[in-house]
């Protein structure tokens, strides 16, 4: 598991995808950047990058996390065994993309889609032409390692809380390096409701407790 140092200097902002989207989109996607100063900072900052990042970090919101969200390093997405890379089957040659909405019968029949409206299907999130990546509603491609951007299109409040470490699990150090998880480590993207668990043993009733004899006091 890789780590993110909260107190690190201005981290390089990695472009998670091809960078095809015009930068004007950016403030729309992050309405929390309401402050003029923050916007200005953004513009100045972006001018310094030859390769413009597709999504800007929420500059000025959580000052100690420069480079977020693209600086967020996460463990590998929890793919099913042997499923990735998708292009090992979906290579675009032997298997032509079929864009027709349909029930899958030959492959991936184990996937039950229970996420949002019934009209939703595979290619709303998976990219038909670049199978090893996902795509946003805008068509912009995102890698599986940045799938939180995709989730955040609808669940913006959760994404905002996740960035600051309030939604989702953090491990590591409260004053230093923390480990992050992707949304999909806890929520199956095809059926995202958190699965019930068997509770561990309850405490013993007082009448069941027998103190041991002996001891030093």
Partner 1 sequence: MTDPKPITPPESCGDSGCGTRREFLGAATAAMAAALTGCGTLSKEEFLQHNFRELSKQEVQDVIARLEKEYKAKYGKDVKVANTPAIPGVIFGYALDLSRCIGCRRCVHACVKENNQSRDPEVQWIRVLQMDKEEGVNLQHADQYYNPEEVPQEGHFYMPVQCQQCKKPPCTKVCPVGATWREKDGIVVVDYNWCIGCRYCMAACPYGARHFNWGEPNLPADQVNTNTHYLGNRPRPKGVVEKCTFCIQRTRNGQYPACVEICPTGSRKFGNLLDKDSEIRYVLENKRVFKFKEDLNTQPNFFYFYGV
Q: Which residues are near partner 1 by CB under 8 A?
A: 62-64, 161, 164-176, 186, 194, 196-205, 208-217
Nearer to partner 1, 52 or 77 (CB): 77
Beta-carbon contacts of residue 24 (< 8 Å; ≥ 6 apart): none
- State which residue, 7 or 98, has the beta carbon closest to partner 1: 7
CB of 194 to partner 1, least distance (A): 6
CB of 212 to partner 1, least distance (A): 4
Q: To the nearest whole angstrom, how small is the minimum distance from the Cβ of residue 127 to partner 1?
A: 29
The two beta strands, 141-143 and 178-179, are unpaired
d(CA 66, CA 58): 9
- Of 64 and 110, nearer to partner 1 (C-beta) is 64
> Residues near 104 by Cβ (< 8 Å), separated by ≥ 6?
111, 122
Q: Which is nearer to partner 1, 16 or 148 (CB)?
A: 148
Closest CA to 7 of 49, 69, 67: 67
Least Cβ distance, residue 213 to partner 1 (angstroms): 7
| Cα first-last separation, the chain | 46
User: What are the residues facing 141 on neighbouring strands?
Assistant: 135
């Amino acid at each position: 598991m890789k780590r993110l140092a909260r107190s690190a200097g201005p981290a390089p902002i990695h472009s998670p995808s091809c960078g095809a989207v015009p930068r004007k989109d950016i403030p729309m996607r992050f309405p929390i950047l309401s402050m003029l100063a923050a916007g200005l900072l953004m513009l100045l900052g972006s001018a310094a990058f030859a390769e413009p990042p597709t999504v800007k970090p929420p500059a000025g919101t959580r000052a100690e996390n420069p480079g977020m969200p693209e600086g967020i390093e996460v463990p590998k997405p929890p793919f099913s065994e042997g499923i990735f890379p998708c292009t090992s089957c979906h290579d675009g040659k032997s298997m032509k993309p079929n864009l027709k909405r349909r029930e899958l019968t030959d492959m991936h029949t184990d996937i039950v889609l229970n996420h949002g409206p019934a009209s939703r299907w595979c290619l709303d999130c998976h990219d038909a032409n670049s199978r090893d990546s996902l795509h946003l509603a805008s068509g912009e491609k995102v890698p599986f390692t940045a799938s939180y951007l995709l989730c955040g299109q609808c669940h913006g409040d959760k994404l905002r809380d996740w960035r600051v470490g309030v939604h989702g699990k953090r491990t590591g150090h409260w004053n230093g390096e923390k480990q992050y998880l992707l949304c999909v480590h806890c929520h199956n993207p095809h059926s995202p409701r958190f699965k019930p668990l068997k509770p561990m043993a309850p405490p013993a009733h007082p009448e069941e407790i027998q103190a041991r004899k002996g001891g030093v006091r």
